[in-house]
Amino acid sequence: MEAALTDAELTVLGLLAEAPRHGYELERVIEERGVRTWTALGFSSIYYVIDRLAKRGLVAPEGPRGGAKSRVTYGATPEGRDLLAAATRAALAEPAPVRARVLVAMANSPVLPDAEIAAGLAERHAALTQRLAELRATRAAQEPLPTPARAVFDYSEAMLEAEINWAATTLTTYRQETAMEKYDVKQARKDLYAPKAKDFSRVDVPELRYLAVDGHGDPNASTAYTEAVEALYGTAYALKFASKAEGRDFTVGPLEGLWRAADPASFVERRKGEWDWTMLISLPEWITDAQVAAAVAKAAVKKNNPALAGLRVLALTEGPSVQILHVGPYDDEGPVLARLHNEYMPANGLTFNGDHHEIYLGDPRRTDPAKLKTVLRQPVKPA
């Protein structure tokens, strides 16, 4: 005989072992005792559960078989009582795993703004508080309680109180974080991260600090490139969370890249195997080298990534530069760069003065290639 019982089956079997009952009597006892505050058992499912128990020989009809099914009285069989005792022993001794759906929600919460997370937690807190009040009213109506019933209510109250406290604490944290000023390099330096797409513009880029990882070759085919990007993001988010805990939050900046080659034409002609690159993520000015080292160590604990060993802090001053916003697939950049290299720069008496710089404002995994936005920047000097 199958030994496992669902929570609903164990509950109904226990009530029928206590005394023979028909469906409406079961419903009345379940309502009076507040059983639905600690187990999932709908009214319509009572008969389904009874049928399942009967097919397994754990309960049997004890009243008249004629008439409405809801009036047939069932009681526990000897086999049912034995399994009930065994299942009860196991349930008393074994702690249940925590599988609350809210834990899945919290794991996925980074997809929502902090304000929305706070609003959801506030609704949860209010609903839990209402549920606790209803549970206490149900308990008061049944006093004095026998010891087993008192233990059930004690446990249910303790669990609800713990959830209410957790919701309140977490809500306070998110409200504080919502009120916390968050630095976003794209907003702070729109001159560098939001050029126009219509034509080239000039900008003077001051010294900025970045997380950086160097590499070589076609980014679409290089394992080292993938590892570099993972190392940058893992470290950047470790820095973000550590800084946020200290009271200063920031939005992790977009992925950026410095690209260089012996022949600049290799960019126009997309000869990617000839490219050297340094992938970057910008750092807020208050982040120290010591904080970066700690974040790298934390990222290394989570994943063994060889690129972490080469991650460094780069202070970069590009100075006078020409930039433009490119909208479309990365491989369509060639004509834009040809215009920059062969038309705009010669016409304005300019020549190269540093690596070709790209800032990736879209996620290629989620964005239509035709809508990808990339800042193309070239440091320049008089020819």
Distance CA 109, CA 243 (A): 19
3-state secondary structure of 84: helix
Mean of pLDDT over the chain: 88
Distance CA 20, CA 146 (A): 20
Look up residue 121 and give its amino acid.
L
pLDDT of residue 3: 60
Show pLDDT as tens, one digit a residue, over the chain (383 residues).
456 888 888 889 999 999 999 888 888 888 887 777 777 676 568 888 899 999 999 999 986 655 555 578 999 999 999 999 988 888 888 877 767 788 888 888 877 788 888 889 999 999 999 989 988 988 898 888 888 888 888 998 999 999 999 999 998 888 876 666 789 999 999 999 999 999 999 999 999 999 999 999 888 888 999 999 999 999 999 999 999 888 889 999 999 999 998 887 888 788 888 889 999 999 999 999 999 999 999 888 888 899 999 999 999 999 999 999 999 999 899 899 999 999 999 999 999 999 999 999 988 888 898 999 999 999 999 99
pLDDT of residue 93: 83
Q: Which residues neighbour 33 within 8 Å (Cβ) at sequence distance 6 or greater?
A: 138, 142, 149, 152
3-state secondary structure of 254: coil
pLDDT tens for 75-134 read 999 999 999 998 888 888 887 776 778 888 888 887 778 888 888 999 999 999 998 998
Q: Residue 303 — φ and ψ, nearest 5°?
A: -150, 135
Look up residue 137 and give its amino acid.
A
Exposed, middle or buried: residue 128 (CB in 10 Å: 0-12, 13-18, 19+)?
Answer: buried
Query: Residue 144, preceding bond cis, omega within 30 degrees?
Result: yes
Is residue 325 within 8 A of residue 373, CB to CB? The reply is yes
Length of the chain: 383
Global confidence as pTM: 0.57
Which of 255, 254, 243, 319 shows the shortest CA–CA distance to 285?
243
pLDDT of residue 1: 40
Is residue 344 within 8 A of residue 200, CB to CB? The reply is yes
Quick one: tokens of 295?
A: 């974040």
**Any idea what the Cα angle at residue 143 is, between residues 140 and 144, rounded to 5°?**
155
